[in-house]
Amino acid sequence: MSPSPSSAVRRFPDLEALSRAAARDLTADIQETLRTQDHYALALAGGSTPRRLYELLAAEAEGTLPWSHIHLFWGDERFVPPDHPDSNARMAADALIDSVPIPADQVHPMPTHLDSPDAAAAAYTETLRHQFSDRSTTFDTVLLGLGGDGHTASLFPETGTPEQRRTDEAWVRPVTAPPRHEIPRRLTCTLPVLNGARRAVFLVAGAGKEDALTRVLDPEDSSLPAAQVSPQATLLWYVDTAARPHPSG
């Protein structure tokens, strides 16, 4: 069994402060990592919470981030056209990618232009296999969100048991989200691929996340998908006070 990652929960008064701290820390990790390796693999999250982080990273485009050495991936995606308003890739392009000098062949969105989620999952599996030798060593950092139901990426409590998620042999899977989600067809990296990351960074904001966050951070409750995230080295939680009103609960 792999050793447990070092873990920390950091609280901030609001999303702006959370995003600024996350941008500062991610920039520092990229700079430090590129001293000893040629490329940095960053997996992006969707949803509204990370948008401000992406905007702050874009502001560093001509400053401290060496975009020619950064590869971008996605932890999950809605199976919609790439220009759809609900596309995770489109959000990242609008907030970050279109504003930075990153080579086009270093941006690796999930291929939702293909005919089916199955075809897209197979194609993205090959993309990841080409980049990484195996699932135990994947991204340098994976950015993740937390749903009010405890899901992360597009790993939902209803889709498989905790043991099935933990032992999934796939790299990428097509997923049907529960009915409460407006866009049911999804693609997601599996839990082993997420856990192959060196660092996992959760960005959690808003009162609607409080109950799920309390459960996920409870060491006695590992049933929710987000609670199963266990990267190779470091697990960081950037949360605002709406999501976690009290430091210990």
Greatest Cα pair distance, the chain, in angstroms, is 47
CATH 3.40.50.970 fits 6-240, yes or no: no
Q: Which two tokens stand for residue 60?
A: 């560093």
Helices and strands, counts by H and E, the chain: 7, 9
SS3 of 125, please? helix
Query: In this structure, what are the phi and psi dihedrals at residue 177, rounded to the nearest 5 degrees?
Result: -70, 155
Whole-prediction pTM value? 0.97
What's the length of the chain? 249
pLDDT in tens, the chain (249 residues): 456 899 999 999 999 999 999 999 999 999 999 999 999 999 999 999 999 999 999 997 566 899 999 999 999 999 999 999 999 999 999 999 999 999 999 999 999 999 999 999 999 999 999 999 899 999 999 999 999 999 999 999 998 999 999 999 999 999 999 998 899 999 999 999 999 999 999 999 999 999 999 999 999 999 999 999 999 999 999 999 999 998 864
Query: In this structure, what are the phi and psi dihedrals at residue 118, rounded to the nearest 5 degrees?
Result: -60, -45
Burial of residue 138 (CB within 10 Å: 0-12, 13-18, 19+) is buried
